[in-house]
């Protein structure tokens, strides 16, 4: 009995430390998102597909031959983004199994997903960069928001990994840690989050995916060297917010 308990304990701690969901059923994955707010999945995409998509991103960001492509860049040109990548590079929809993400998202949210779009982004090290997403934040204070982020190259502590405050998507976490006055709070300083030990850096390999409720507090860690390529799937159960109108290529994909 002791041994069984010990093994169970060891498994539980691995599960918690790495949030690896390879081999889990969809129900288990959804349970893990519900519990932690963010989990990673090994090898959602193969290396060949990652390479093809990285090249397509470089092709659209790097040279100016695609005059019709809208590319957003931050002030220091560290973060280059193509919102609505599927409109400028439709093959991406054949290369990535987005239907699986939709299914998981619907199970997690308990609602039908109506549409999505893909953000393709390249983060390059530039002095003074603040990381993808512009620092710690919630995407929405109240509504659960499901996203999938797929790393297209190996990402570790130096090249801008996704970072999440585990459990912060839950109302109980919000109330007990930030109190009633912070229910609407969207942005957080580093100082406010210093005391939390449950900040999780999602290092990952090329092709790994992160499935996340971005109602929880998160950021892209500022990039210290190298480059990070990623696709982020934005899923909508209602109409896409109009503030994307100014940056998006196309109109997203209606399901
Ligand atoms: O790209 C990242 O690591 C996080 C960006 C972000 O804030 C988001 O996708 O909501
Ligand atoms: Fe965000």
pLDDT in tens, the chain (255 residues): 677 777 666 655 554 444 455 567 889 999 999 999 999 998 999 999 999 999 999 999 976 566 678 999 998 889 999 999 999 999 999 999 999 999 999 999 999 999 999 999 999 999 988 888 889 999 999 999 999 999 999 999 999 999 999 999 999 999 999 999 999 999 999 999 988 989 999 999 999 999 999 999 999 999 999 999 999 999 999 999 999 999 999 999 999
- pLDDT at position 51 is 98
Q: What is the DSSP letter of 21?
A: -
Among 118, 132, 134, the mutation site with the greatest number of ligand 1 atoms within 8 A of its Cβ is 132
User: Which stretches does DSSP call E strand in the chain?
Assistant: 38-41, 72-73, 79-83, 115-124, 146-151, 162-165, 199-202, 209-213, 218-220, 227-236, 253-254
- pLDDT at position 2 is 74
- pLDDT at position 18 is 42
Q: Separation of 1 CA from ligand 2 center, angstroms? A: 44
Residues with CB under 6 A from ligand 1: 132-133, 139, 147, 149, 162, 214, 218, 220, 232
Among 164, 220, 230, 233, the mutation site with the greatest number of ligand 1 atoms within 8 A of its Cβ is 220
Domains (range + CATH), the chain: 2-254 (2.60.120.620)
State the Cα–Cα distance between residues 105 and 82, nearest whole angstrom.
22
The token pair that represents 49 in the structure block: 């597909």
State the Cα–Cα distance between residues 133 and 119, nearest whole angstrom.
12
- pLDDT at position 68 is 79
With H, G, I as helix, E, B as strand and everything else as coil, classify residue 200. Answer: strand
To the question of pTM greater than 0.85 for the whole model, the response is yes
Q: Separation of 133 CA from ligand 2 center, angstroms? A: 5
- pLDDT at position 203 is 95
């Amino acid at each position: 009995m002791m041994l069984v308990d010990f093994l169970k304990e060891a498994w539980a701690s691995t599960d918690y430390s790495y949030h690896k969901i390879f081999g889990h059923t969809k129900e288990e994955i959804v349970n893990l998102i519900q519990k932690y707010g963010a989990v990673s999945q090994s090898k959602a995409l193969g290396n060949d597909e990652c390479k093809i998509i990285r090249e397509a991103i470089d092709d659209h960001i790097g040279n100016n031959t695609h005059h019709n492509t809208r590319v957003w860049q931050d002030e220091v040109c560290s973060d280059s983004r193509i919102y609505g990548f599927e409109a400028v590079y439709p093959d991406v929809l054949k290369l990535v199994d987005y239907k699986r993400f939709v299914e998981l998202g619907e199970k997690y949210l308990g609602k039908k997903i109506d549409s999505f779009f893909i953000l393709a982004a390249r983060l390059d090290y530039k002095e003074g960069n603040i990381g993808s997403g512009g620092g710690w934040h919630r995407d929405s204070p109240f509504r659960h928001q499901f996203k999938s982020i797929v790393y297209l190259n190996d990402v570790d502590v130096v090249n801008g990994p996704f970072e999440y405050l585990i459990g912060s998507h839950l109302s109980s976490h919000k109330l007990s840690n930030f109190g009633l006055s912070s229910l609407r709070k969207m942005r957080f300083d580093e100082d406010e989050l210093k005391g939390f030990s449950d900040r999780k850096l999602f290092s990952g390999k090329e092709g790994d995916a992160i499935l996340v409720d971005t109602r929880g507090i998160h950021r892209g860690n500022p990039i210290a060297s190298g480059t990070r390529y990623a696709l982020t799937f934005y899923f909508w159960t209602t109409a896409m917010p109009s503030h994307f109108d100014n940056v998006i290529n196309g109109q997203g994909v209606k399901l």
